[in-house]
Amino acid sequence: MSMLTEDQRAQMAEAVADRTGSPPTHPNQPRKNSAGSRRPSSGGGGGGDALGPVEDFSVDQKGRPCSGERRRNKQRGKADGSGARGTWGPMIDVVEPTTILDSGDPNYDSNEEPVTFGAASGLWETKYTDAIVEYKEQVSTCVEEYFNSADVNEALDRLEELGSPLYQHFIIKRAVTKAMDRGHREMEMTARLISAMHGKIVTVEESVKGFHQLLAAVEDLTIDVPEAPTILGTFIARGVVDDVLPPSFVTSSETESNPSASAAIKHCQGLLGARHAAERILQIWGYAVGMTVEVAKSKLAALLEEFLVSNDVAEAQRCLHELNLPFFHHELVKKAVFVALEKNEADEHVVFLLETLGSNGEISQNQLTMGLQRSFDALPDLSLDVPDAESHMHQLIEKMKAAK
């Protein structure tokens, strides 16, 4: 039902006729649409205000009034793919043009350039290689200074300042390689440095990786150092004794395709399989640096004797830590076991000491096991003076198990 009166429709028809040039039609007379067909006009009446002057008035394809602004908006919308009824807007968003950096521009900053990684640019590879080269040079400097000063604590501080946890295996490789060109003094110093770094600066994984790289490079090292396989095998055996390398390293390393690496592993297995292997490996390069074996044994014996008198495990731990001989803790275990076997009343003190030092990590499980194994190996000799040493030994082991 139309809301226009007869007069209002007449005025509308006149306005349309003025704009289109066609003669006005009666409001009830059917008018032609754009296709030439006639459409009946809906009649009706009702009150309403008269229409004012019409500006830029026209009809659309369905014969509906259409202002000029609406028509222009409609045409503009169709031109850019939007505005039509039921559409989702423009098919293509307007994007600001990409600014290309010009290296000749005075305001050019290379840091603003997008970084690409890959063989095309080589940027990432170059920076990575430069970082490794610089790190190796710094490690070499630290090792050289350590060989001159023999100060292991200072060397640890310098190496720790370098950071780069992903490169720590280079420390192992570079230190051992440099020691091969020197004498027994530097080899012993390197073994002690590796032991001191273990767990503090270099992880077990990085230590294993460093020695694997040495095995891979040992054939090239023989060009300058013909005895390199023997030296490397000794370093690996020392690493196992010092609890730096797991014993499985020796059996799991694949060296079939590398004769020099195979020779190093065979030499290592020979050292570890010998009688009293731990003591022999610890003294293989001598103790030219720091205390001798005899001095170390006497200090451990004094520590144990003082503990048996005072039963002060905290003091014993402090003295053991000050000695800084983590690779020689098995000697303390052996001495403590022998004291317990010779003196029945010392059992409880020895069990308490070893259980405490083992539980807080002062003595590693590997060193504890090695000390007990050395004690078992020495039972035949000890039984000459202590007939019940073997049975007492088993009782002591049971007490240690119960104390855990």
59's enclosing H/E stretch is strand 57-59
Q: Flag whether 362 is in a domain.
A: yes
pLDDT score of 363 more than 70: yes
Q: What is the pLDDT of residue 7?
A: 76
240 shares a domain with 159:
yes
Quote the tokens at residue 376: 């078992």
259 shares a domain with 154:
yes
307 shares a domain with 220:
no
Nearest to 25 by CA among 10, 36, 42: 10
Q: Flag whether 287 is in a domain.
A: no
Q: Flag whether 378 is in a domain.
A: yes
Q: Flag whether 72 is in a domain.
A: yes
pLDDT score of 143 more than 50: yes
250 shares a domain with 216:
yes
Domain assignment of residue 249, given as a range: 124-282
Q: What is the pLDDT of residue 230?
A: 95
Mean residue pLDDT across the chain: 75
374 shares a domain with 305:
yes
Domain at 134, CATH number: 1.25.40.180
Nearest to 169 by CA among 201, 122, 124: 201
Q: Flag whether 49 is in a domain.
A: yes
pLDDT band for position 51 (cuts 50, 70, 90): very low
Nearest to 114 by CA among 106, 104, 124: 124
243 shares a domain with 307:
no
pLDDT score of 129 more than 80: no
pLDDT score of 60 more than 80: no
In one-letter notation, the amino acid at residue 137 is E
270 shares a domain with 311:
no
Indicate the residue among 231, 248, 282 that finishes a domain. 282
Please tell me the total count of domains within the chain: 3
Q: What is the pLDDT of residue 119?
A: 46
Q: Which one has a higher pLDDT value, 301 or 6?
A: 301
Q: What is the pLDDT of residue 117?
A: 44
Residue with tokens 């293989």: 284
Least confident window among 15-19, 272-276, 350-354: 15-19
pLDDT, tens digit, 9 for 90 and up, residues 211-236: 999 999 999 999 999 999 999 999 99
pLDDT score of 123 more than 80: no
164 shares a domain with 239:
yes
Rounded distance, CA 215 to CA 266, Å?
A: 12
Indicate the residue among 282, 314, 346 that finishes a domain. 282
228 shares a domain with 140:
yes
307 shares a domain with 185:
no
Q: What is the pLDDT of residue 343?
A: 84
In one-letter notation, the amino acid at residue 124 is W
Indicate the residue among 282, 314, 339 that finishes a domain. 282
Q: What is the pLDDT of residue 370?
A: 86
303 shares a domain with 258:
no
179 shares a domain with 204:
yes
pLDDT band for position 43 (cuts 50, 70, 90): very low
Rounded distance, CA 255 to CA 249, Å?
A: 12
Q: Flag whether 288 is in a domain.
A: no
pLDDT score of 63 more than 60: no
Nearest to 229 by CA among 202, 197, 253: 253
pLDDT score of 71 more than 90: no
pLDDT, tens digit, 9 for 90 and up, residues 365-395: 888 888 898 898 888 888 888 888 888 998 8
Q: Flag whether 107 is in a domain.
A: no
pLDDT score of 283 more than 60: yes
- Its pTM stands at 0.47
Quote the tokens at residue 114: 């997008």
Least confident window among 59-68, 86-95, 278-287: 86-95
3-state helix, strand, coil in the chain (%, to 5): 60, 5, 35
Q: Flag whether 131 is in a domain.
A: yes
